[in-house]
A and B are shown apart, each in its own frame.
Chain A
């Protein structure tokens, strides 16, 4: 299995000057990871922890004030090796849609309100697909049906569709060219659970067929549990834990992950669930040392001053915590029925 995306010590900050006052939001701070061929890599974390910023940098879709401050990022598609931030604009445009596609967060509101859905498909997908017109449309229709949408949506304007329908239109748009690397930011948040399950199954089927890579961002841990192969947990701009999905759920090695897994209510459960104590860190002025220390039940003096490195704690499993051996799972994860095989 090859690595498709290699990221080394990536730092991307929002750098702004308001009326002479400089502000720097460290949304992506020193992230090192690799995304392999044929896997779904989940990214989870708190709201405003920098998930969107991180994958925006992956997608080479950053704009000022967000800037790459340090680090490197390389894609490898077959023989093509490219660092979007060093390559020319033409080369980067050439890999968009065809090799790399990006489903933005809240992208359902990005559909052009005065153009029919059909036109949007024509604008974005017709050229990269390079098919004759009739074949193109039959392919688009088939693809929409696969996502549980009637081809009639092509005739509608975005405001005539419900939130969930728009979201599926956007997913269809980004996957119709069958790119090798798909980056999806909260693609299923507006879907009902029945449709969500179908859409997730569709995304996974296509991914397995194509042996492509998918980076999947959501804060819904139950979605992560069921679709991803590996998960990276982001806290305050840093990658704090990374490992195979099951391991993260059953044996987390970072206190924040342990909390995240346990915080979900379930049907049939009405015991009061508390949210994490304290407030999310301000990325313009993050806490010293381990950024989680002010909210961490295991924090010791060392955590306040020294930044814990992301170290291997098990097979394929890395965690950035000074006391990672002492972290215990807070929730009991059931054992799956034996007949279920991945």
Chain B
């Protein structure tokens, strides 16, 4: 595992950059545990200070130190993204492998449900949830809802790989070795869909974080939890751009773009991690 990562960093520039960007963001968010201020305290520092040696990212109009405040925001946002990615991967792997391997009516009914989910308009549904749940819509519920909506495309992708695998001779061999369908799906076939799982996980994080930011900016989430979305909401609320406190908007936007870019590069280079042939080619093995 470590040697793979080492090789990837050494031979794959996309992965190196992606890992660096994401790594910086993760370390940044972990700094939140050392924050001198609680995330929701306001007017703890002098408001509207531009970035300086004392306040690296400046302070906002609510009297918060942006540096420490953003560490909380990124921690929450990343955690949210990872949770959605993990939960929706579990659903899409299960659905994709089951439908692909079992085929027949299982496949047909699962793909029917899948098609419905593909057709659902996500944004209106999220807003609907907000109005129904209001203050009950915390990060966790939102993650559950997003996970419930974020699996169908990837499940379809996984299913198409699984269908190809079902016709391979080693699958029949596994059947006659007495392996149960679950064992065949999750031990024999899963490794083949891992590249898809990894690269779609990154794409899925970009997708769910994007929605979180959008909802936050519009004020459709719990505003007391610092996230990138709510940070931008408050900035907007205090007309940051107009008043001239640009750092309140530019810095979080720049960081979130770096996060997206990092995740995207990781998604692209993940294929190399799984597909040994292209990995060898890079190492000059051919």
Residues of A within 8 A of B (CB): 63-64, 89, 109, 113-114, 159
Contact = CB atoms under 8 A, between A and B. Distances in A.
B285 interface: yes
A323 B185 CA distance: 57
Interface in B132-150: none
B200 to A, nearest CB: 19
Contacts of B164: 113-114
13 contacts: A63-B280, A63-B285, A63-B286, A64-B280, A64-B283, A64-B285, A89-B286, A109-B169, A113-B164, A113-B167, A113-B168, A114-B164, A159-B167
Given A63-B285, A64-B280, 11 more contacts: A63-B280, A63-B286, A64-B283, A64-B285, A89-B286, A109-B169, A113-B164, A113-B167, A113-B168, A114-B164, A159-B167
Contacts of B280: 63-64
A89 B285 CA distance: 11
A187 B169 CA distance: 20
Interface residues of B, number: 8
Contacts of B168: 113
A89 B286 CA distance: 9
A114 B164 CA distance: 7
A113 B168 CA distance: 9
Contacts of B286: 63, 89
A159 B168 CA distance: 9
Contacts of B283: 64
Nearest to B286: A63
Overall SS of chain A's interface:
loop
A113 B164 CA distance: 7
Interface in B271-286: 280, 283, 285-286
A218 B168 CA distance: 26
B165 to A, nearest CB: 9
A114 B280 CA distance: 24
Interface string B155-172: 000000000100111000
A63 B282 CA distance: 12
Contacts of A109: 169
A113 B169 CA distance: 12
A211 B91 CA distance: 60
The 4 closest A-B pairs by CB, nearest first: A64-B285, A63-B285, A159-B167, A63-B280
A109 B169 CA distance: 10
A159 B166 CA distance: 12
A45 B167 CA distance: 33
> Which of A63, A109, A113 has the most B CB atoms < 10 Å from its CB?
A63
A25 to B, nearest CB: 17
A276 B15 CA distance: 53
Nearest to A89: B286
B282 to A, nearest CB: 12
Contacts of B167: 113, 159
B167 to A, nearest CB: 5
A89 B284 CA distance: 10
Contacts of A113: 164, 167-168
Contacts of A89: 286
Nearest to A65: B285
A159 B285 CA distance: 31
B284 to A, nearest CB: 9
Nearest to A113: B164
B101 to A, nearest CB: 16
Nearest to A63: B285
A217 B164 CA distance: 31
Contacts of A64: 280, 283, 285
A159 B167 CA distance: 8
